[in-house]
């Protein structure tokens, strides 16, 4: 069965599109797994633009072409769409063995959001260590808890630190992490429903190369621990 995964947030600019492309490219090019991205970050469709410009670059940059050829896999599929229009197409993928990523805009107020959550196997909420990002992520958790996914419960939800700063005091992270866990505990009691939310162990570092080398063709090693943890979680949970 396909696995439908989305990096989501109610806040723009936390890294959804960047981490989607790094994870997808690593899975496809290094691990040789079948991958599709639905690029629903309408209207900018930035992943489709990255792919288009890389295809152009293959024609003019010989060293880029050589590096891409070394990997010897065909580029994975990237399908530009609006979220609501992607829903029936997602169903066509359900019986395949693909990892399907859905890149969405930085808002939950988008047509088709409930149908999208229903189909997800994992929602990964990117978190930055500041109170605004924290609060917006907790709102996203609350929004996801209001929808049921295909298993009739809350979509398995993971909190993932992005742009992790190794020079920052560890307390900054642990304090926010504790506050999140307390909030989730309260939510569980109030709602009397399972709240399926966990922190991922890996923290994606703030790295200029993550920013500069977003590629749909060449994998980026920094993302390897995230991909391993993701695969492990998806296998364990389902
Ligand atoms: N780990 C990281 N290290 C350094 N820069 C990062 C990292 N993750 C994301 N960025 C940068 O943060 C900015 C926002 O990232 P991105 O466009 O992926 O966010 P987004 O959540 O998809 O935004 P939107 O909500 O507008 O779609 C980009 O400049 C990107 O390169
Ligand atoms: Mg984006």
Condensed to tens digits (0 to 9), the pLDDT of residues 115-131 reads 999 999 999 999 998 88
Rg, the chain, Cα only: 18
Report pLDDT for 237. Answer: 61
Residue 3, φ and ψ in degrees, nearest 5: -115, 125
Q: Based on the structure, what is the number of domains in the chain?
A: 1
Quote the pLDDT of residue 32: 93
Q: What is the pLDDT of residue 150?
A: 79
**Selection from 99, 102, 62 nearest residue 79 by Cα:** 102
Q: Is residue 206 part of a domain?
A: yes
Query: Which residue's CA lies nearest to atom 15 of ligand 1?
Result: 15
Domain assignment present for 236: no
The ligand 1 site (C-beta within 6 Å) comprises: 9, 12-18, 41, 105-106, 162-163, 204, 206-207, 210-211
Which range marks the domain in which residue 42 is found?
3-230
pLDDT at 73: 76
Tell me how far apart the alpha carbons of residues 220 and 124 are, in angstroms, rounded to a whole number: 19
Dist CA 35 CA 77 (whole Å): 7
Structure confidence at residue 93 (pLDDT)? 97
Q: Return the DSSP state at 221.
A: G
Q: What is the pLDDT at residue 156?
A: 94
**Residue 20 domain flag:** yes
User: Residue 64: what pLDDT?
Assistant: 92
Among 8, 10, 15, say which to mutate for ligand 1: greatest number of ligand atoms within 8 Å of CB: 15
**Residue 103 forms part of a structural domain:** yes
Look at residue 201 in the predicted model and tell me its pLDDT.
Answer: 95
- Residues of the chain under the 50 pLDDT cut: none
Six-digit token pair at 25?
């490219």
CATH assignment of the domain containing 217: 3.40.50.300
In a domain, 141, yes or no: yes
In this prediction, residue 224 carries a pLDDT of 96
Indicate which atom in ligand 1 lies nearest the CA of residue 9. 21
> d(Cα 146, Cα 162) in Å, to the nearest integer?
25
pLDDT number for residue 90: 97
User: Is residue 107 assigned to a domain?
Assistant: yes
Please report whether residue 238 resides in a domain: no
Q: Cα–Cα distances in Å, from 130 out to 98, 134, 141, 198?
A: 35, 6, 17, 19
């Amino acid at each position: 069965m396909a696995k439908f995964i989305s990096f989501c947030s109610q806040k723009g600019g936390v890294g959804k599109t960047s981490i989607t492309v790094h994870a997808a490219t690593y899975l496809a090019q290094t691990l040789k797994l079948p991958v599709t991205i639905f690029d629903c970050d309408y209207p900018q469709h930035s992943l489709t633009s990255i792919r288009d410009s890389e295809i152009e670059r293959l024609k003019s940059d010989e060293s880029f072409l050589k590096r891409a050829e070394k990997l010897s896999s065909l580029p994975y599929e990237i399908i530009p769409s609006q979220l609501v229009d992607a829903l029936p197409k997602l169903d066509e993928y359900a019986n395949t063995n693909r990892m399907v990523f859905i890149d969405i805009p930085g808002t939950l107020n988008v047509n088709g959001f409930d149908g999208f959550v229903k189909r997800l196997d994992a929602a990964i909420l990117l978190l930055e260590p500041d109170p605004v990002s924290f609060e917006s992520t907790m709102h996203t958790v609350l929004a996801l808890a209001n929808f049921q996914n295909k298993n009739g419960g809350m979509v398995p939800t993971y909190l993932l630190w992005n742009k992790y700063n190794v020079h920052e005091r560890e307390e900054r992270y642990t304090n926010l992490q504790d506050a999140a866990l307390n909030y989730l505990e309260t939510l569980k009691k109030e709602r009397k429903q399972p709240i399926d939310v966990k922190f991922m162990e890996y923290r994606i570092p703030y790295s200029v190369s993550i920013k500069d080398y977003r590629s749909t063709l060449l994998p980026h090693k920094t993302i390897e621990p995230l991909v391993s943890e993701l695969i492990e979680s998806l296998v364990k949970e389902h």
